[in-house]
Structure 1
């Protein structure tokens, strides 16, 4: 039997040659798609040639909420981390519905552009998502554990199947009163399964519904430990 193709595999990697026009601080459309284009938020503290962390942020079902870019830019500025925001081709991510395909391509091309635009620290590259985006973050993150060192899943439903590579650390947070994706059918099954498979998983349950409270988001940021460079 041949080696199974990893349809969720990404080819983008840090360390390649920079693009012709490095991105300065602020919000930049990447031009990878004419509809539902990807966006890169570069922190205000970005210095010329200085490596920075990067988070790939995956939206929930329905797409990117209106008015969310200023919030994401504020996250980039506060935590000195670049935030890449791709968008699914349909209302949610392909791996949630019918298997990996065009959305993997969009994420990959967006990452290539982002890695040309800013210098990224390969030890501090992660993927984060909420709801359907959290499920997709788990699927992509575990399939690309040689690229992503950290995976953050806020209120995931499940882990879309893909061949797995590497051993990224995983953070899962879920509200005990979630009526959209009830915790007993989702996180409380996902977390033990990941631990049985040998992953280092931090699990946080909180009093609340299908949302990401500020204190939970801050805990995830602290868990990343990216406030100072490795060895800094």
Structure 2
């Protein structure tokens, strides 16, 4: 299998060190040999990840794409499970990579690096094989995956149009680009990543930057309730607004 340290990727080391991604959608991509359903990325022997292509996908209709990231210590399947049940109805391709270590590089190693390269490879693969709508490209996840999704999403807002962060802990960037819309949810009873120093602080920071934030608190713990998942998908796929709002506090 292809290694995460592929030579043409290593030549972009300085770019990856600040969290920048190089892959971009090919609006003319219409390959005849594409597959539907769940499939392995095939980019690493030990820690790989998954791609999901909906049954409804057609090369004649550009699909939305979401990169969904797992929490610390969880498998790549967790990222896939966040939105998979909605993918067919919304013509949404999902990428669910596995982190190189127990969590994402900026958390496990205190620096951008191997995970940026791996995600760039996964995006390059999807962009070359599938017809992707450039106005509907998201990154996000749950817990550490949500934090890392914000980090890469804000760094690459000229690629990602939407960020979906379920119970994040922080958002760190060395450089930023673009102005992606942001969806953040958090349980008010979360004992793992308490809402006040985490999402409430993040939302205030993003709003000061002038970003559009759809913020939803709910009466729950460190989790992603089904109602929140549906709300995030509706927001991402254009069935909802992107204004800031709070829900489920009673």
TM-score, normalised with respect to structure 2: 0.83
Corresponding residue of 2:99 = 88
RMSD: 2.1
Corresponding residue of 1:28 = 39
Q: What are the Cα deviations for residues 51-81 of structure 1, in whole angstroms up to 9, with x where unaligned?
A: 1100001111113266875775433223220
Query: How far apart in 2 are the matches of 1:161 and 1:60?
Result: 19
Residues 38 and 170 of structure 1, relative CA distance in 2, 3 Å threshold: same
Residues 19 and 221 of structure 1, relative CA distance in 2, 3 Å threshold: closer
TM-score, normalised with respect to structure 1: 0.89
Within the alignment, does 1:99 sit opposite 2:111 as a pair? Answer: yes
User: How far off its partner does 1:28 sit?
Assistant: 1.6
User: How far off its partner does 1:20 sit?
Assistant: 6.3
Asked whether the equivalents of residues 41 and 48 of structure 2 are also in contact (C-alpha less than 8 Å), the reply is yes
How many residues are matched? 224
Counterpart mapping for 1:1-232 below 5 A: 7-15=18-26, 18=29, 22-64=33-75, 73-97=84-108, 98-226=110-238
Question: Secondary structure of the residue that 2:89 maps to in structure 1?
Answer: helix
Which stretches in structure 1 are left out of the alignment for 5+ residues? 228-232
Asked whether the equivalents of residues 155 and 177 of structure 2 are also in contact (C-alpha less than 8 Å), the reply is yes
Residues 69 and 55 of structure 1, relative CA distance in 2, 3 Å threshold: closer
Which stretches in structure 2 are left out of the alignment for 5+ residues? 1-13, 240-250
Query: How far apart in 2 are the matches of 1:84 and 1:66?
Result: 10
Residues 70 and 139 of structure 1, relative CA distance in 2, 3 Å threshold: closer
User: How far off its partner does 1:38 sit?
Assistant: 2.4
User: How far off its partner does 1:226 sit?
Assistant: 4.1
Residues 31 and 138 of structure 1, relative CA distance in 2, 3 Å threshold: same
